[in-house]
């Protein structure tokens, strides 16, 4: 294990993903979310395939045990991406990022519901704390229904972000089940294939021809997304998940900076307060997972015969 290298790779992934989101947001006034999903997915494929070739995993890494598992993971993942891109077009970048943090909290809930994972009082309390933070971030938006058109659209964006987080959490549940039989490289590759194909179904609902600058931004978003997935996948080869997971929340720092400098977005105190609670809850859950992991390791060590 090389935790410093793992953390560096995770931070690179976080930066790439927030830059990708910024490029999508920059085109959102003209390019529909479904079309953005296509560019994000399709142009990630050359990067992913190149990565598999370099690793020598192209043949073995693309073998599939459960095709329907890949389809359903792709379906909910595509829904999460499309809803997330919708939110990016309607909300400030830091706010959309903060609402996306609901996904790991909901993953804990869904793991208890669908995977029969035991969730104790500590993690339940942390989830409730985090969901309270989500409600704080949402509250100014949900009171905007029936107000001015701009406010109503922002409320729709907030609901899209939250629904996208639910879909992202469900995608994580599928991945947890799939990793027992499927290669990680196959999960990454077939997700891009599935999401690119599913996004084509939205073409009759208003796709546009991007102009030159928009085309460059969309293709760049796909390339950055592919690179981000590679860095994200690679970081777990050098550090435990519990070590690198807290660095997901570094995306808020970059989102605040990019939102302020590029999009002239000034965060509200309500958004920052709610986001802080969500981040605190996420870190508490990560810490608890780490403690439980260490406890299991000690238990196995005691049970293993010595000599």
- 243 and 293 in contact (C-beta within 8 Å)? no
- 107 and 285 in contact (C-beta within 8 Å)? no
If you compute the radius of gyration of the chain from its CA atoms, what whole number of angstroms results?
20
Segment 29-44 shows an average pLDDT of 96
In this prediction, residue 149 carries a pLDDT of: 65
Segment 49-58 shows an average pLDDT of 87
Distance CA(153)–CA(90), nearest Å, equals 6
Instruction: Name the one residue in this structure whose structure tokens are 């409600």.
Output: 135
Tell me the whole-structure pTM to 2 decimals: 0.90
In this prediction, residue 143 carries a pLDDT of: 67
Distance CA(141)–CA(92), nearest Å, equals 12
Distance CA(223)–CA(109), nearest Å, equals 33
In this prediction, residue 136 carries a pLDDT of: 93
Helices 184-199 and 67-90, axial angle in degrees (round to 10): 60
DSSP 21: H
Q: How confident is the model over 219-256, as pLDDT tens digits? A: 999 999 999 988 988 887 888 777 788 888 999 999 99
Distance CA(13)–CA(228), nearest Å, equals 4
Structure tokens at 137: 């971030």
- 182 and 169 in contact (C-beta within 8 Å)? no
Tell which residue, 137, 106, 51, 294, has the closest CA to residue 302: 294
Structure tokens at 26: 């920059």
- 69 and 107 in contact (C-beta within 8 Å)? no
- 192 and 41 in contact (C-beta within 8 Å)? yes
Q: How confident is the model at residue 18 (pLDDT cuts 50, 70, 90)?
A: very high
| Residue 266 pLDDT greater than 80, yes or no | yes
CB atoms within 10 A of CB 100: 25
Q: How confident is the model over 174-197, as pLDDT tens digits? A: 888 888 888 888 888 999 999 999
Q: How confident is the model over 77-120, as pLDDT tens digits? A: 999 999 999 999 999 999 999 999 999 889 888 888 888 888 88
Percent of the chain past pLDDT 90, that is, above it, reads 56
What residue numbers bound the domain in which 87 lies? 3-303
| Residue 285 pLDDT greater than 90, yes or no | no
In this prediction, residue 236 carries a pLDDT of: 78
Q: How confident is the model over 135-165, as pLDDT tens digits? A: 999 888 876 555 566 678 888 999 999 999 9
Instruction: Name the one residue in this structure whose structure tokens are 């860095």.
Output: 231
- 182 and 59 in contact (C-beta within 8 Å)? no
**Cα dist from 9 to 166, 234, 236, 239, whole Å:** 26, 7, 9, 10
Distance CA(64)–CA(258), nearest Å, equals 39
Domain count, the chain: 1
Of 42 and 292, more confident: 42
Distance CA(226)–CA(44), nearest Å, equals 4
Name the helix (H) or strand (E) containing 221.
helix 212-235
| Residue 307 pLDDT greater than 70, yes or no | no
- Number of Cα atoms under 13 Å in the Cβ half of residue 62: 15
């Amino acid at each position: 294990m090389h935790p410093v290298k793992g953390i560096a790779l995770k931070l690179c992934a976080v930066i790439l993903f927030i830059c990708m989101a910024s490029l999508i947001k920059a085109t959102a006034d003209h390019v529909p979310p479904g079309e953005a999903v296509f560019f994000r997915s399709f142009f990630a494929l050359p990067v992913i395939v190149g990565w598999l070739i370099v690793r020598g995993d192209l043949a073995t890494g693309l073998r599939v045990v459960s095709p329907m598992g890949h389809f359903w993971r792709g379906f909910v993942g595509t829904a999460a991406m499309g809803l997330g891109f919708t939110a990016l077009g309607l909300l400030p970048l830091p706010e959309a990022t903060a609402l996306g943090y609901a996904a790991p909290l909901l993953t804990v809930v869904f793991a208890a519901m669908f995977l029969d994972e035991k969730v104790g009082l500590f993690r339940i309390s942390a989830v409730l704390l985090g969901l309270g933070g989500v409600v704080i971030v949402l509250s100014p938006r949900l009171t905007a229904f029936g107000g001015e058109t701009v406010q109503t659209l922002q409320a729709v964006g907030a609901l899209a972000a939250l629904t996208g987080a639910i879909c992202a959490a469900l995608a994580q549940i599928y991945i947890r089940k799939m990793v027992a039989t499927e290669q990680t490289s196959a999960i990454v590759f077939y997700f891009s294939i599935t999401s690119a194909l599913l996004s084509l179904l939205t073409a009759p609902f208003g796709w546009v021809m991007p102009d030159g600058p928009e085309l460059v931004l969309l293709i760049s978003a796909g390339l950055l997304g592919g690179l981000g997935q590679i860095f994200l996948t690679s970081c777990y080869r050098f550090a435990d998940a519990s070590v690198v997971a807290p660095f997901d929340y570094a995306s808020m720092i970059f989102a605040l900076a990019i939102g302020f400098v590029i999009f002239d977005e000034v965060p509200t105190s309500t958004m920052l307060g709610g986001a802080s609670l969500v981040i605190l809850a996420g870190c508490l859950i990560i810490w608890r997972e780490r403690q439980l992991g260490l406890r299991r390791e000690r238990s196995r060590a005691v049970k293993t015969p010595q000599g």
